[in-house]
Amino acid sequence: MAGPLSGIKVLDLSRILAGPWSTQLLSDLGADVIKVERPVGGDDTRGWGPPFLAREDGSATAESAYFLSANRGKRSMTVDISTPEGQGILRELVKTVDVFVENYKLGDMRRYGLDYAALCEINPGLVYCSITGFGQTGPYSSRAGYDFVIQAMGGLMSITGQSDDQPGGGAQKCGVPISDLMTGMYASVAIVSALFERTRSGQGQYIDMSLLDTQVAWLANQASNYLVSGTTPKRWGNAHPNLPTYQAFAASDGELIVAVGNDRQFASLCRVLGAANLADDERYATNARRLSQRATLIAALSELFAKAGKSHWLDELEKAGVPCGPIQSIPEALADAQVLARGMVFSLPHASGATAPQIANPIKFSRTGVQYRRAPPMLGEHTDEFLASELGWSVARIAASKQQGTV
């Protein structure tokens, strides 16, 4: 069954992660995504290995695991957009697409004649999305943006990691490039929204996405805490700034997570631990009181958790309806029965002759479905096809353009 974005065509000039993550989502939803890459090297992340994908006989391919994570479903064509001929190819392709995505530095697209002002003259219905580190305006707009830098500048690292008074304390980055990923998600929402608006107005529009804007936007409750109280949020490690019994506890054989968010759950936790008296203690009667007595409460609970193993506590807490879970490694998470039951791990045949493992899109539609039409493409895998079918180029012209290094 066709995906909800079936019939939408996307020209994707983005590289690394934020843009490719967005366009991979659009592809999963049914859009036809054409990934435009440099003739030599392509997307930088193609070389971000090891690990590299291997065939069944153990021979290596040139496809990095990083690239494979964000580019499925797309077709790849190579074009040198710094050349007049390459720019002409894109202008021709723009006539037939709905969406244009790029993440070049400020001014690059204008220099190539591929900025929104130029392309909307060719295609007034074009939805054009630019993704940069700092946006198209402001004092930092000309700077290059990288996820690690944005996590630091956007406040995330200041609230991530153990507090300074704990072993290993200090600012930490997130374990995945979350500023890139979230910007890609916001970009997808913006693109789909602009496409929906186009059904009413008949007009495309320009979308300006910034990694720093996105990072600041999803400081969420932590930023709100500061704006309301004036108190600078700090690092809590695996604890929570507003919920004292929402953290990791050490059992006799390792840690588990407890996520108690209300008085009823707190009472159930205390009963499981054999300490119903704590739930009756006026010092801990409400979340606000528990928060004010965090140190003494956590000390008492920690002493009780240390009396038995993780499995015991997880079983008992689950029976009592107390939110909890193990701290799993990535292999453990991917092998979890729930993850497998939801089809979150699968594979696709790759043009290199290997099989490309994939993490599934988490969206579950009742009718239209998510589509996985092809594995992430090899560099320039579809160049000849596009030039012949979309632009009507002859075999001789394609060969000559390759000789010149344009495609």
Please give the Cα distance from 111 to 351 (Å, whole number): 35
Of 214, 215, 221, 274, the closest CA to residue 243 belongs to 221
Question: Which residues does 359 contact at the CB level (< 8 Å), separation at least 6?
Answer: 69, 344, 345
Q: Where are the alpha helices (DSSP H) in 123-262?
A: 147-153, 178-201, 211-217, 220-229
Of 399, 9, 400, the closest CA to residue 204 belongs to 9
For residues 287 and 243, the answer to whether their CB atoms sit within 8 Å is yes
For residues 182 and 154, the answer to whether their CB atoms sit within 8 Å is no
The angle at the Cα of 131, spanning 158 to 152, to the nearest 5 degrees, equals 10
Instruction: Copy the structure tokens of residue 271.
Output: 């009963």
Of 208, 189, 194, 185, the closest CA to residue 21 belongs to 185
Question: Which residues does 239 contact at the CB level (< 8 Å), separation at least 6?
Answer: 246, 247, 248, 298
Indicate which residues carry an active-site annotation: 180
N- to C-terminal Cα separation, the chain: 34
Whether residue 84 is preceded by a cis peptide bond, meaning omega within 30 degrees of 0, is no
Please give the Cα distance from 87 to 79 (Å, whole number): 8
